[in-house]
Each structure stands twice: as C-alpha cells, then as structure tokens.
Amino acid sequence: MFFFVIFTLVIIINCITEIHTLGDTEPCRDLRKIVKNYLRTNFLVDFVAWFPVHFLLPFDYTRFNNRFSWVFLIKIVRIIDVFRLYNIQKIMKKVRIVMDAHLKYSIETNPEISNETEYDHTKIGLTLSISYGLKMFKLLLLISNLTYFLGLIWLIYCQLIDHYSGHQ
C-alpha cells in the first residue's frame, strides 16, 4: 500500500510539474503539453510500477500452486522508477542551495565570520557526509531490489522444475 500511494503521488506530480524543453529558455507550464510529454516519456514505466497487479489475481493465489508468481516480476519495473526518483545529483543540488542560503544568512548576521579561517562555515564535511549517506542508501536499495529480483527468478525456476518433474 505504501508504494501504491508513493507512485500515485509520483504520477500526479509528473502531470503537473513544469517541463524544460530543449532550446527554450523558459519552462513550459501548459498542462496539455506537460501531460502529453509525460505520456510519451515516463508514464508507461510509472503506470506499470503503480498498477496493483495483486488485485487482479485470485484472492488466495498461493492455492493455485503459485502459478501467478511470474506476475510479480512486472513489479521489478519499480527499480527503474525508484532510481529515477532517487536522483542523488538533484538532491545534493537542493542540499547545496540550503547550505549556501544558511552561509549567506550567517555572513549577513555576523560579517566577521567571512574572514575566519579556523572554522568551516561552508559545512563541507556535512555536505560530503550527506552525499555519501545518500549514495550508501541507494546502494542498499539496489542490493535489496536485486536480491528480490533474483529470488523471484529462483522461485519461478524451482516451481517450473517441480511442475515438469512431477513433484507436485
């Protein structure tokens, strides 16, 4: 349910967020053009990740010898979506904007700190820690999604072997 809500919000946000077309200096804010662009680019991936496949299956699909487990491979498309959403460069750009604004405010309120060299007012260490933390989290997401995908492949393989060898 959590992912369903997240991907629903992603679809809605992508339908109303301005786009930057190549060659234009101003962002496009025309909703028709935004939706048309979204439908041509990332909508299919977002829709497949969003679509609740388990609602189409029988209530107790495990009773059917797990015939439907292959359907959950479709959900692996969420990996693509998560990595598109979890763009570390964009996040770090926002972090740097916040850090720069904080530094400017600190200098405006206390001009003497601009000449001080012993203390790191730019908080570069904190910025690097945030960057490395985000990269580690992305790596953990990748590893967990990859193991989920490989586990599903293994499960389907074992079910096929059991089915065709008559061990049911």
What is the percent of the chain with per-residue pLDDT over 90, rounded to a whole number? 7
Q: How would residue 5 be classed by pLDDT, with cut points 50, 70 and 90?
A: confident
End-to-end Cα separation, the chain, in angstroms: 33
Spatial separation of the C-alpha atoms in residues 140 and 142, rounded to whole Å: 5
Helices vs strands, H then E, count in the chain: 6, 0
Q: How would residue 69 be classed by pLDDT, with cut points 50, 70 and 90?
A: low
What is the maximal distance between C-alpha atoms in the chain? 81
Nearest alpha-carbon partner for 51 in 10, 83, 17? 10
Q: Mean pLDDT, to the nearest integer, of 37-66? A: 72
pTM (predicted TM-score): 0.58
Q: For residue 45, give the H/E element and its range.
A: helix 43-50
pLDDT at 136: 93
Whose tokens are 């498309």? That residue is 77
Flag whether pLDDT at 68 surpasses 70.
no
From residue 133, alpha-carbon distances to 19, 123, 126, 127, 136 in Å are 29, 15, 10, 10, 5
Q: How would residue 132 be classed by pLDDT, with cut points 50, 70 and 90?
A: very high
Bridge partners, residue 19, by sequence: 28
pLDDT tens string 150-166 = 887 888 788 778 877 86
27 DSSP 8-state letter:
P
